[in-house]
Chains A and B, each alone.
Chain A
Amino acid sequence: MIPLSITLRQALERLVLPILIVAALGIILLGQADRALTERVRMGLADILAPAYGLVAWPQEQARTLLGRMRDMGRIEAENQRLRAENANLRHWYDVAAALADENASLKANLHWMPDPSPSFVTGRVVRDTSGLYARSVLVAANVDAGIHKDEIVLDGSGMVGRVTEIGSRSVRVLLITDASSRIPVRLEVSHGAAIMAGDNSGTPRLIYYPQDNPPIEGERVVTNGEIDTMPPGLPVGQIHYVRPGQPVVIPFASLGHLDIVRVFDYGRSAVIPPDAPGRIPVRRPADSLSLPFPSPLRRG
Chain B
Amino acid sequence: MTPDQAPEFQPGIQPRPSLWRRLDMLSRRGLPAVLTALAVLLLSAPFGVPGQAELLPGILLSSVFFWSVFRPASMSSPIVFLLGILVDLLGFGPPGVMLLVVLLVHGVALSGRYGFSRAHILVLWLVFGGVSLGATALQWGLISALSLHLVPAIAFAFQWVLGVGLFPLLCVVFSTLGRSIANPDRA
Contact = CB atoms under 8 A, between A and B. Distances in A.
A207 to B, nearest CB: 20
B10 to A, nearest CB: 18
Interface stretch (A50-58, A95-103, A283-291): A50-58
Given A17-B103, A17-B107, A20-B78, A60 B47 contact: yes
Given A21-B100, A21-B104, A24-B100, A132 B92 contact: yes
A70 to B, nearest CB: 19
Nearest to A135: B92
Given A20-B77, A132-B91, A53 B96 contact: no
Contacts of B142: 28
Interface stretch (B11-19, B146-154, B162-170): B146-154
Nearest to A25: B100
B99 interface: yes
Contacts of B47: 56, 60
B162 to A, nearest CB: 12
Interface in B51-88: 53-54, 76-78, 80-81, 84-85, 88
A16 B84 contact: no
Nearest to B111: A17
A14 to B, nearest CB: 10
A234 interface: no
B45 A53 contact: yes
B93 A21 contact: no
A48 B65 CA distance: 30
A45 B85 CA distance: 12
B143 interface: yes
Given A17-B77, A17-B103, A133-B159, A24 B96 contact: yes
A24 B139 CA distance: 13
Contacts of A131: 53
Interface in A239-277: 258
B111 to A, nearest CB: 9
B44 A135 contact: no
Given A42-B89, A128-B46, A28 B95 contact: yes
A133 B155 contact: yes
Contact of A21 (B46, B103, B159): B103
Nearest to A32: B146
A17 B143 contact: no
A201 interface: yes
A134 B97 CA distance: 14
Given A56-B45, A60-B48, A129-B46, A28 B94 contact: yes
A8 B37 CA distance: 32
A25 B54 CA distance: 23
A47 to B, nearest CB: 12
23 contacts: A17-B110, A20-B77, A20-B78, A20-B103, A21-B104, A24-B100, A27-B96, A28-B97, A28-B100, A28-B146, A30-B96, A31-B95, A32-B146, A53-B45, A53-B46, A56-B45, A57-B46, A60-B47, A127-B46, A129-B48, A131-B53, A133-B155, A134-B143
Interface of B: 41, 44-48, 53-54, 76-78, 80-81, 84-85, 88-97, 99-100, 103-104, 106-107, 110, 142-143, 146-147, 151-152, 155-156, 159
Given A24-B96, A30-B96, 17 more contacts: A17-B107, A20-B103, A24-B99, A24-B103, A27-B85, A28-B96, A28-B142, A45-B90, A60-B48, A128-B46, A130-B91, A133-B156, A134-B93, A134-B143, A135-B93, A173-B92, A201-B152
